[in-house]
Amino acid sequence: MIRPLKLAIIGGGPSGFYLASRLLSRFPQSYADSLRVHIFDRLWAPHGLVRYGVAPDHPEVKNCTHKFDSAASDPRLKFFGNVNVASDGENALNGVPLSSLKKNYTHLVFATGCTEPNLHPLLPRDDGIIPALDIVHWYTRHPSNPSPPPLSSTNHVSIIGMGNVSLDVARMLLCPPSLLEKYDVPSHVLDALRSSKVKHVSVIGRRGPLEAAFTTKELREMMNLPDVALRPLEKSVLDVQASTRQQSRTLDLLKKGSKAAFGTTLKTWSLDFYRNPISVTVPSSNSPSYSLTLGHTVVDAATKRAGPLLDSNGAPITSVLPTSLIVPAMGFHAEPSSAAPYAQWYDLDQKHIKTLPGGRVSTTNLDTEEPKIYASGWAATGAKGVLASTMMNAYSVAEAILEDWTNLTPSSTTSNTHPVAISSSPWDAPPSEILDGLSSANITTYEDWLAVDAEEVRRASAGGKERERMDWNEAKKFLYDTAKPK
C-alpha cells in the first residue's frame, strides 16, 4: 500500500507556505490524494513576516500572498491559526503538545522563523530603549500589541544597526504621514505619526559603508524622502574601494546625497558609521535625554571586524550623543525558551534549529516510525536573506521531504511496509485539540482569513487606502457576530 504523507508545518509565514505550495505541486499526481498538509500558527492571521514585518509602504513585497492563497485553495491544505504548539507538559491557550502532532503526522516541519530581537548587551529595555521589532509590530498591528513609541515627546531617535529594518523604521518615522495614508498603516499609527515631534534620526553602525547590510533600494528610498535631508558624510568615510556592484551603488548614492539639500528641511537623518555604543545614561532631573556614549571604531581589512579606534596615547576615542529614543535593530533569533516545541534541537550558539542538508533536523532517524522532522526558513538558517532566499530554502526542504517519503514508500505492497504513524480518525483529520478549538471558535481557518482580508480592504476602500487592519478582537467579532450565520 502507498504510505500517506501527512505533513504538519508549525509556522504560517512565507517559509511554511512556500514549502506547502512546492510540495503540493511536486507530489506525484497518481498518488495526489495520499497527501495532506496542515499549517499551524500561533497568530490568528497567516503569512507571518509578510503581514507583520514588511513595511506598509512596500506593498509589492506582499504580492507573494497570491501564491499562498493559491496553495490554500487546494483542498489538501488546511491552515489553523491561534494555535500554540508547545513542548509536552507546557500549558498554553489553544495549546497542542508536540506529542499530539507526532501521533498524527508522518512528517513535521518547524517553520517558526526568528521571533526574538537581538538586544545590545549594554542597552537593556527601557521606556526610551525600544527594540526595532516592537516598533515594526506597532505599525503593523501585530497581535503582541506592543506599546507605541513615545513620538510626541521625542525629537531625536538613535537606531543601532544598519540593516533594512533600521532604514524601514527610520523611513516610517521621517516620512510625511500624508504619503503613508494610502498604504496599509493602521489609523492609530497614522495619528501618532501626525503628532510626532521627531526631527532627526541617527542610524548607527560599528563598521563602514562597505559593510552596511541595507540594500541599495532601501537607501535610495531614504535619499528620496520629500522634505527630509541626509547630513553629508565626511569625505574620509566615503574614500574606500568597492569590491562588488552592490558596494559601488551604495557609495554612489552616499556621495550624491539626499534629493533634498541639507539645511533646507525640518527633518534630517544621518548615517553614523564607525560608531559602537559602549554605555548609556538614562534621563534624570538634570538631563531630560539619554546620553549614548559611542566608541569610535576601525575595521580590520582582513577580518572585516570592527575594533576600537585609539588616539595617539592608545586610549579609545569616544563621543557622546544626546538622544530621546534608542532603537536597537541588530537582527533576530529563534526563541530559545524551553517551552518552544523545538527546544531539544535548538543550537544555543547559532540561535536557531540545528539541521542537516535538506533541512532535516540533525537528530532525526529516518529509519524509525517517528515522524520525520525538518526545519525551514529562518528557523533553520537564522535571520538572514530576503523572501527569495526563504523561498529557495523552503523549496529545498520540500524536495527533501518528497525524497524521504519516496524512499520509505514501496512501489507495491510488501511485508515490511512502514506503518502509518497516524492516530486520528479519519486519517487526514487534525488532532483532537484542533477540533475542540474550532468548535469553540478559538481557532481560525484560511477561510476565516479570506473573509477578514476582504473586510479589511472594504473598510479602507472609501478613503482610497490599501486596507484597515483588524486586531483579533475585531476580527473575532466580525467573523462570529457578522460574517457567519448564528
Q: Is 155 within 8 Å of 197 (Cβ atoms)? A: yes
Mean pLDDT for all residues in the chain: 92
CATH no. of 5-115+333-444: 3.40.50.720
Q: What is the distance between the alpha carbons of residues 24 and 70, in angstroms, rounded to a whole number?
A: 11
Q: Is 158 within 8 Å of 277 (Cβ atoms)? A: no
Mean pLDDT along residues 188-203: 98
Which value, to the nearest 10 degrees, does the dihedral of the CA atoms of residues 462, 467, 471, 475 take? 70
Mean pLDDT along residues 213-238: 96
Q: Would you give the DSSP letter of residue 211?
A: T
Q: What is the distance between the alpha carbons of residues 354 and 49, in angstroms, rounded to a whole number?
A: 22
Q: Give 8's pLDDT tier (boundaries 50, 70, 90).
A: very high
The pLDDT tens digits for 241-263 are 999 999 999 999 999 999 999 99
Among the listed ranges 59-63, 218-222, 404-408, which one has the minimum average pLDDT value?
Answer: 404-408
Percent of all residues in the chain with a pLDDT value above 70, rounded to a whole number: 93
Q: Which three cell numbers stand for residue 113?
A: 522563523
Cα–Cα distances (Å) from 236 to 209, 274, 318, in that order, read 11, 12, 18
Instruction: Give pLDDT, residue 440.
Output: 87
Q: Which three cell numbers stand for residue 388?
A: 527569495
Instruction: Kindly report, as residue ranges, where domains of CATH 3.50.50.60 are found in the chain.
Output: 119-330
Instruction: Give pLDDT, residue 92.
Output: 62
Q: Which three cell numbers stand for residue 92?
A: 498554553
Helix axes 387-408, 14-26, angle to 10 degrees: 40
Instruction: Kindly report, as residue ranges, where domains of CATH 3.40.50.720 are found in the chain.
Output: 5-115+333-444
The pLDDT tens digits for 387-417 are 999 999 999 999 999 999 998 766 433 333 4
For residue 322, the one-letter residue type is P
Element (H, E) at 36: strand 35-40
Q: Domain 119-330, CATH 3.50.50.60 — does that match?
A: yes
Q: What is the distance between the alpha carbons of residues 325 and 329, in angstroms, rounded to a whole number?
A: 13
- Identify the sign of the CA torsion 256, 262, 265, 267: positive
Q: Which three cell numbers stand for residue 365?
A: 532517524
pLDDT above 80: residue 474 = yes
208 closest CA partner among 171, 175, 243: 243
385 is an annotated ligand-binding site residue = yes
- Identify the sign of the CA torsion 337, 338, 342, 348: positive
93-112 burial, b at 16+ Cβ within 10 Å, e below that, comes to ebbbbbebbbebbbbbbbbb
Q: Is 279 within 8 Å of 123 (Cβ atoms)? A: no
85 is an annotated ligand-binding site residue = yes
The pLDDT tens digits for 436-471 are 999 888 899 999 999 999 999 999 998 899 999 999
pLDDT above 80: residue 318 = yes
Q: What is the distance between the alpha carbons of residues 150 and 354, in angstroms, rounded to a whole number?
A: 39
Burial class from Cβ neighbours inside 10 Å (0-12, 13-18, 19+) for residue 420 reads middle
Q: Which three cell numbers stand for residue 277?
A: 555604543
378 is an annotated ligand-binding site residue = yes
The pLDDT tens digits for 37-47 are 999 999 999 99
The pLDDT tens digits for 108-166 are 999 999 999 999 999 988 889 999 999 999 999 999 999 999 999 999 999 999 999 99
263 is an annotated ligand-binding site residue = no
